[in-house]
Amino acid sequence: MSNEAFHGHADVITTHEVHHDEHGVHHHKQSFVTKYIFSQDHKTIAKQFLITGMIWAIIGGLMSVLFRLQLGYPDQTFPWLEDILGNWARGGKITPENYYALVTMHGTILVFFVLTGGLSGTFANFLIPLQVGARDMASPMLNMLSYWFFFGGSIVMLSSLFIQTGPFSGGWTAYPPLSALGDASPGSKTGMDLWITAMSLFVVSSLLGGLNYISTVLNLRTKGMSMTRLPLTIWALFFTAVLGVLSFPVLLSGFILLLFDRHAGTSFYLSDIYVSATSQALPNEGGSAILFQHLFWFLGHPEVYIILLPAMGMASEILSVNSRKPIFGYMAMVGSLFAITILAFLVWAHHMFVTGLNPFLGSVFVLLTLLIAVPSAIKVFNWLTTIWKANIKFTPGMLFALGFVSLFISGGLTGIFLGNSTLDIDLHDTYFVIAHFHIVMGVSAFFGMFAGIYHWFPKMFGRYMNRTLAYIHFWVTLAGAYLIFWPMHYEGLAGMPRRYLDYSNWASFNQFGDLNKFISTVAIIVFSIQLLFVFNFFYSIWKGRKVTTLNPWGAATLEWTTPIRPGHGNWDGEIPEVHRWAYDYSKDGRDYIPQTEPVSPDESKH
Amino acid sequence: MTTTGLLLLAILALGFLITFQIAKASEYVSVLKGEKKSFEQNNRINGFLMVVFLVLGLIGVYLCNEALYPKTLLTHPSASDHGVNIDTMLWITIIITGIVFFITQILLFWFAYKYQYSEKRKAFYYPHNNKLEVLWTTIPAIALCTLVGFGLYYWFKITGEAPPNSMQVEITGRQFGWIYRYPGKDNTFGKKYFRMINEADGNILGLLWKDTTINTPNGETHLTADPLGFDDIVETSAMYLIKDQPVKLIINSRDVIHDVGLPHFRMKMDAVPGTPTTMWFTPKYTTEEMKKITNNPNFEYEIACDQMCGNGHYSMKGLIKVVTRDEFILWRAKQQAAYKPAEAPATAQPAAAAADTIKATGSAASKSDLTAKK
């Protein structure tokens, strides 16, 4: 492809590096600000995304602990809550406004700021240049801007927590008219404006990032790195970026129309509304509230795969490395990623089966939705075959990758229930849905992320994370995830609706009091174990055991050919040339053959 | 901060500290023992835990089912005919996905245990096998086609036209409660218009009780009273339905999106402002019969709002009473029409009203009219 032009570029940087080495002591060009804050090094940007994402994850996770307290102990008061939440928990009880604000913010933060920004932002930035053999992203400047738009969005979203009318509280899906009418819900006042602003900044960030990831994968691969030699991580991150670039603009357009409805008197989503709180009929007529749901879910569903694909890619890579076996069915894995990407755009209305959608249209979406289970099944069976007859090393990364597969199976299978419109009538918006998506895209994506962090931590910081803490983290989180979410399926089968503050006044749903207590308790334990992980992470950055070998996991991919602590530009000398795919493990009696090794004539073919 | 809170925090911090110290110590031990030996030991422990997790997990699945299944809706029959179909579909799906769940999870954790690292084992270089891949493309595809087939068969049955003999009831959501409307003796709903809603007058649905001229952003609109609505019954306490009589609900919302959730009938449909939706089903058991079936003397059919609708969402409860035909006739005879004749007709009509009334008459009112066909 553009190898010629690229090599020229590489040479320039090489001389630059050499120049640096000569004048060893004074790194005059890299001030603290350019090295750690406004850095254009993809590795630093990746770490910025990761750490911002972790801070968001702690905030979002803590929110879930707070509302789980309400759900588990609806009749108890917690005076200390008033100390931290003030008026939002007068007398130690979370108010309905605050409960709904917490639920909404928990969803928004975890879906967008942690599992999209934190996950794709981290690993696409970190891995794409390192694994395709590039010195940096196609446009380091846009890449830096991508982080700072994300940061700006984060600040706006965070600030919405502190305004008088509270943050937005109408659910992370922000359906109008509730999200359009400040009189219908206090959270839809200034909180919603800030929410839309923050989300718009976030969309800009993800577009800048996504365009960069795509162009880097397509244009900056090193010599010999054909598309079919790319590690599966890169394929997954590439498709993730494609999904984001094609669907986020639609979401933005939906938000802009919503902004017009809120402030410019238009009627895109509003019609026939009489607000009880003010005893007033609104002037709007002729809008369709359902239009927003189409625009929202046109992103909203691909978003699920934006979250999941990077986890799938990393799990594939880590399973293969630690099984000391090639990933089974590489082309089938790429093909199924591709199929998922295409289908992801064609299934959005399965979130809308009970909105009054035309039943025929619904049936088309049932077919396409259940079709997506086929590539998912291929992936699961291929993962299982990958660990069959393997020689497994249970590194922390490997454990989380195995946990990912387990959770993906459990959560994926319940998707077959919900994608079937007939069952969706019964299960829609019950706890069954909560159980389903938390397992399949919440926890399992987190497992993919943890797997990635443990696996590439040595490359990021030149040190290892503590293994014992990692094992505790893994087993408690895996068991905890199942203990929290498995029983919720039963609540769903009892018809228990989601987003309720209190079930005790309902004859149909009040039989789960003990279970809710149990779930809340486990949730608190699992949350505190995550703090242990955070501690392990930051402690190990400075005090972890040092990495002494170039390739601690014995992996075949390119990132392990860089120095232990690669500088800006990644490789000291020439960028290595690639001669084979990324998965030659246990071939011809050798533990692994790196991608950079030329194929010898007496090697067996596969 | 209460003392118990502080105590809990202190315990938590101590727990963290101890765990951390152990973890740090284990790192030193591994250095002393040698990297290889400690790796092998850790690997064995984690491999063993894989089987432990599998076994405990399977036991857990069983225990969880024992404890929670009786609390679900599946222990007694669904209260509507559609619900029976949905339950059948649910069981078909549970069986198919259940088989896949157990096979794949057992393989996953068993393989992880069985193929854990050993110095003697060589991993099997097995990059692909087209036959296998075709196999596990086609089998899931066939299984899913079965599910799609059953699913759509029931889906079209449930979402198809309501039987011609259906009773019609209108249900309207508002923050935070439900309004039920019956068409009265003429079996036809009167027209309504949301600008006519007047809580003080008791016209909570905005029925066209009198000729009115109102200002809208599109100019003045003249609305003529609709006598068909004078006998409409508007209720907020409970919706009465007849056993074995199909009912078609016409679903509206006055403000934001709500959802008519009927767990015992297994039915659900959004209430969207400006876009009326419908749903029909046939109740199979009266409330009294359900009390016996569920063995719960306080049983009621509750309507749960299933779409986030504001801060009172969790309290948006409605009630359905399924009764026999005779009881229903008795109940209906006792109901009074909501209509209140205007005492002082058109008190504050603007003087210029008469001029351009005719042109706007129909357009506004016909939008939300839902004349029941009989």
Collapse the DSSP code of A294 into the 3-class scheme (helix H, G, I; strand E, B; otherwise coil) and give the result.
helix
Position with higher pLDDT, A219 vs B34: A219
CA atoms of A242 and A344, how far apart (whole Å) = 11
Q: Are residues B231 and B107 in the same domain?
A: no
Q: Which residues are A500's β-sheet partners?
A: none
A248 vs chain B: nearest CA distance in angstroms?
24
Check CB contact of A218 with chain B, cutoff 8 Å.
no
Percent of chain B with pLDDT over 70: 91
Q: What is the pLDDT of residue B351?
A: 41
Distance CA A400, CA A319 (A): 10
Tokens of B361: 């008459």
Report how far apart the first and last C-alpha atoms of chain A are (Å, whole number). 26
Q: Are B115 and A391 an interchain contact pair (Cβ–Cβ within 8 Å)?
A: yes
Kindly state the greatest CA–CA separation across chain B.
Answer: 101
| pLDDT computed for residue B139 by the predictor | 94
> Looking at beta carbons, which residues of chain B come within 8 Å of A410?
101, 105
Asked if residue B108 and residue B224 are part of one domain, the reply reads no
DSSP state letter for A33: I
> Which of B12, B49, B128 lies closest to A329 in CB terms?
B128
CATH code: domain of residue B283: 2.60.40.420
Q: Chain A: residue nearest B159 by CA? A: A359
Is residue A572 within 8 Å of residue A563, measured between CB atoms? Answer: yes
**Contact status of A287 with chain B (Cβ, < 8 Å):** yes
Q: What residues in A contact B273, CB-CB < 8 Å?
A: 177, 270-273, 289
| Chain B residues inside the 8 Å CB shell of A169 | 311
| Burial of B71: CB neighbours in 10 Å, binned 0-12, 13-18, 19+ | middle
Q: Does A318 touch chain B (CB under 8 A)?
A: no
Quote the minimal CA–CA distance from B184 to chain A in Å.
Answer: 24
Does the beta carbon of B91 lie under 8 angstroms from any beta carbon of chain A? no
A17-34 tens-digit pLDDT? 444 443 334 444 678 888
Q: What is the pLDDT of residue B372?
A: 39
- Whether the Cβ atoms of residue B83 and residue A422 lie closer than 8 Å to each other: no
- The CATH architecture assigned to A39-270+285-592 reads Up-down Bundle (1.20)
Same-domain status, B183 and B101: no
Angle, CA of B308, B310 and B316, to the nearest 5°: 75
Does A503 sit within 8 Å of B314, measured CB to CB? yes
Residue B330 falls inside a structural domain: yes
Cα of B208 to nearest chain A Cα, Å: 15
CA distance B296 to chain A (A): 10
Q: Does any CB of chain A come closer than 8 Å to the CB of residue B118? A: yes
Q: Give A444 to chain B, closest Cα distance, Å.
A: 15
Q: Which of A81, A271, A354, A380 to mutate to test the interface with B (most CBs of B within 10 A)?
A: A354
Residues of chain B neighbouring A228 (CB-CB closer than 8 A): none
Q: Quick check: B273 and A399 CB within 8 A?
A: no
* B77 and B194 fall within a common domain: no
Prior bond to B217 cis, omega within 30?
Answer: no
Where residue B183 falls (left for φ over 0; alpha for ψ -120 to 50; beta otherwise) is alpha
> How far B336 CA sits from the closest chain A CA (Å)?
24
Q: Using an 8 Å CB-CB cutoff, list chain B residues near A469.
A: 19-20, 23
A382/B contact by beta carbon, under 8 A: yes
pLDDT of residue A303: 95
- On whether both B262 and B148 belong to a single domain, the answer is no
Number of domains in chain B: 2
Q: pTM higher than 0.90 for the full model?
A: yes
Beta-carbon contacts of B231 under 8 Å, excluding residues fewer than 6 positions away, are B183, B184, B185, B186, B337, B339
Q: CA geometry: angle at B249 spanning B248 and B255, to 5°?
A: 165
Do the domain assignments include residue B18? no
Please check whether residue B362 lies inside any domain of the structure.
yes
So what's the pLDDT on residue A606?
62
Task: Kindly give the parts of chain A with pLDDT less than 50.
Answer: 1-28
Reply yes or no: is the peptide bond before residue B176 cis, omega within 30 of 0. Answer: yes
- Least CB-CB distance to B127: which of A328, A469, A528? A328
A13 C-beta neighbours (distance < 10 Å), count? 16
Å between A567 CA and nearest CA of chain B: 28
Q: What is the per-residue pLDDT for A173?
A: 95
Burial class (CB in 10 A: 0-12, 13-18, 19+), B90: buried
Distances (CA, A) of B105 to A375, A480, B50: 18, 17, 11
Own/partner pairs, B117-121, CB within 8 angstroms, 24+ separation: B117/A391, B117/A392, B117/A393, B117/A394, B117/B40, B117/B43, B118/A391, B121/A391
**Would you call A552 an interface residue with chain B, using a CB distance cutoff of 8 Å?**
no
- Hey, of A420, A517, A522, A528, which one would you mutate to test binding to chain B, going by the most B CBs within 10 A of its CB? A420
Yes or no: say if B204 and B259 are a contact pair by the CB < 8 Å rule. Answer: no
- pLDDT tops 80 at residue B364: no
The whole-chain average pLDDT of chain B stands at 88
Per-residue pLDDT tens over the stretch B99-148: 999 999 999 999 999 999 998 888 999 998 999 999 999 999 999 999 99
What is the pLDDT, as a whole number, of residue A393? 95
Same domain, B308 and B228: yes
Beta partners for B239? B320
Question: Taking CA atoms, what residue in B is nearest to A464?
Answer: B27
In a domain? residue B8: no
Chain B positions touching A479 (Cβ under 8 A) are 53
Q: Does residue B22 lie in a domain region?
A: no
Position B32 confidence tier, pLDDT thresholds 50, 70, 90: confident
Please give, rounded to a whole number of angstroms, the shortest distance from the CA of B352 to a CA of chain A. Answer: 21
Q: Is residue B97 part of a domain?
A: yes
- pLDDT at position B79 over 70: yes
Give A111's contacts (C-beta < 8 A, 6+ positions apart): A172, A303, A307
Contact A508 B259 (CB under 8 A): no
For chain A, domain boundaries: 39-270+285-592
Chain B residues closer than 8 Å to A391 by CB:
115, 117-118, 121-123
The number of beta carbons lying within 10 Å of the beta carbon of residue B39 is: 17
- For residues A512 and A72, the answer to whether their CB atoms sit within 8 Å is no
Nearest to A546 by CA among B183, B31, B143: B31
User: Is A532 in contact with B16 (Cβ distance < 8 A)?
Assistant: yes
Point out the residue among A273, A377, A389 whose CB comes nearest to the CB of B124: A389
Distance from CA of A508 to the nearest CA of B (A): 7
| pLDDT score at A92 | 86
Distance from CA of A203 to the nearest CA of B (A): 25
Give the pLDDT of residue B342. Answer: 66
Best probe of the B interface among A274, A351, A413, by most B CBs < 10 A, is A274
In order, the DSSP letters of A231-284 are: -HHHHHHHHHHHHHHHHHHHHHHHHHHHHHHHHS---SS--S-EETTTTEE-S-
Name the nearest CA neighbour of A46 among A126, A143, A117, A150.
A126
Q: Are residues B270 and B135 in the same domain?
A: no
Whether residue B111 lies within 8 A of chain A, CB to CB, comes out as yes
Q: Which residues in chain B touch residue A413, judged by CB atoms under 8 angstroms apart?
A: 97, 100-101
Q: Which residues contact B155 (CB under 8 A, 6 or more apart)?
A: A359, A362, A363, A366, A421, A422
Among residues A484, A417, A487, A489, which one has the least CA distance to residue A446? A484
Q: Which long-range contacts (CB under 8 A, 24 or more apart) does B55-58 make?
A: B57/A482, B57/B105, B57/B109, B58/B102
What digits encode the pLDDT tens for the residues B261-320?
999 999 999 999 999 999 999 999 999 999 999 999 999 999 999 999 999 999 999 999
| Full residue range of the structural domain in which residue B88 is found | 30-117+127-159
Residue with the larger pLDDT of the pair B360 and B310: B310
